[in-house]
Amino acid sequence: MKQSAVVIFPGRGTYGKDELGYLARHHDDKAAFIQGVDDWRASQNRETVSALDNAKTYSAAKHASSLNASALIYTCALADFAAIDRETYDIVAVCGNSLGWYLTLAGAGAVNEANAIRLVDTMGALMEAEGKGGQLIYPFVGEDWREARANEKAIGEALHAGRTAGEAYLSIRLGGMAVLAGDEAGMTAMEKSLPKAEGRYPFRLARHAAFHTPLLTHVSDAAFDALSADIFEAPQLPMIDGRGAVWTPHGSDLDALYQYTLGHQIIETYDFSKSVEVAVKEFAPDRLILAGPGATLGAPIAQELIRWRWKGLTSKADFSAMQKQDPFLIAMGREDQRKLAV
């Protein structure tokens, strides 16, 4: 009997040094798909994903730039999605974090392959050229991944400090993490306000603009000018967006999907936590499958499961024990778990 699965697509910070060569290692059988992405990139005078993936060394300036990272992650993640064993898994819904929403649209068939890379690459280029502000990350939870009220209070106080000094917003609810964003004055004030945690927080995310905030309203406007509503089609799978709303194959208003994707989704908080909550509560999957590259979303997903006591989980130790015995979350970016999905 097939197991039901919700597939989760990663965000922009997931192709790092360890992922160099991901396409070459895992997807030499996806030549036609990868060539299609390369052809689009070449037509825009941009370095191909094949060349980027096959580089001898990893360059943060090159590989982590919005222009290149978005296309790389899209190609790796959608190739992973195609590699999932459909004889074992019945994919009942898809969702993602931030950039992962565009990947969700592609995986669900709400945009075809040609329009998917066009969407991803257009947004990557706009963010590279027009992005403003920055992001930092700070935990809602303690080191055991349990709720930490003191941290939540500190985040609220930091947002107040940031808004007093400049602009500051909650950009993404990322499981047990808050991604905060703002202009330079707001970011500096938040960094000064937040107490040091776990020896590394608050941590400013390099090469990230103030995604999912009104600071990028001009990017949203440019996206509407660059992309038309006719790139969208009825999805073939249910999609969970960054509000926790579900878009179904037979009940999706495509103009509303266009407006959400290039409007609300760019300038308002992306609630990845809510999308995971909806995934497990509404679809009750046997497994969650996290597409690669990387596996950094594993912790936020686990933290959200702990928050809701899913499968009796109450701590990081509980989650680790479950994963060793019978993994509920399968991360395709991890070699030890990938074999469970493909």
Q: pLDDT tens, 179-210?
A: 999 999 999 999 999 999 999 999 999 889 99
Q: Are residues 53 and 173 in the same domain?
A: no
Render each residue's pLDDT in the chain as its tens digit; 342 residues: 899 999 999 999 899 999 999 999 999 999 999 999 999 999 999 999 999 999 999 999 999 999 999 999 999 999 999 999 999 999 999 999 999 999 999 999 999 999 999 999 999 999 999 999 999 999 999 999 999 999 999 999 999 999 999 999 999 999 999 999 999 999 999 999 999 999 999 999 988 999 999 999 999 999 999 999 999 999 999 999 999 999 999 999 999 999 999 999 999 999 999 999 999 999 999 999 999 999 999 999 999 999 999 999 999 999 999 999 999 999 999 999 999 999
Q: What is the pLDDT of residues 229-241, one digit of tens each?
A: 999 999 999 999 9
- Rounded Cα distance, 225 and 204, in Å: 31
| Whether residue 166 is found in the same domain as residue 309 | no
97 shares a domain with 29: yes
User: Could you tell me if 72 and 11 are in contact, meaning their C-beta atoms sit under 8 angstroms apart?
Assistant: no
What is the spatial order of strands in the sheet that 246-247 belongs to? 246-247, 239-240, 89-96, 3-9, 287-290, 329-331
Q: Are residues 194 and 234 in the same domain?
A: no
Domain that holds residue 191: 134-208
Are 242 and 166 contained in the same domain?
A: no
Residue ending a domain, among 158, 175, 208, is 208
Residues in the chain: 342
- The Cα 294–Cα 206 span in angstroms is 17
How far apart CA 73 and CA 79 sit, in angstroms, is: 10
199 & 57 share domain = no
All residues at 6 or more sequence positions from 225 whose CB lies less than 8 Å from its CB, including other chains: none
CATH of the domain at 334: 3.40.366.10
Query: Residue written as tokens 């999308």?
Result: 275
Q: Is the pTM for the entire model greater than 0.85?
A: yes
221 plus 291 within the same structural domain: yes
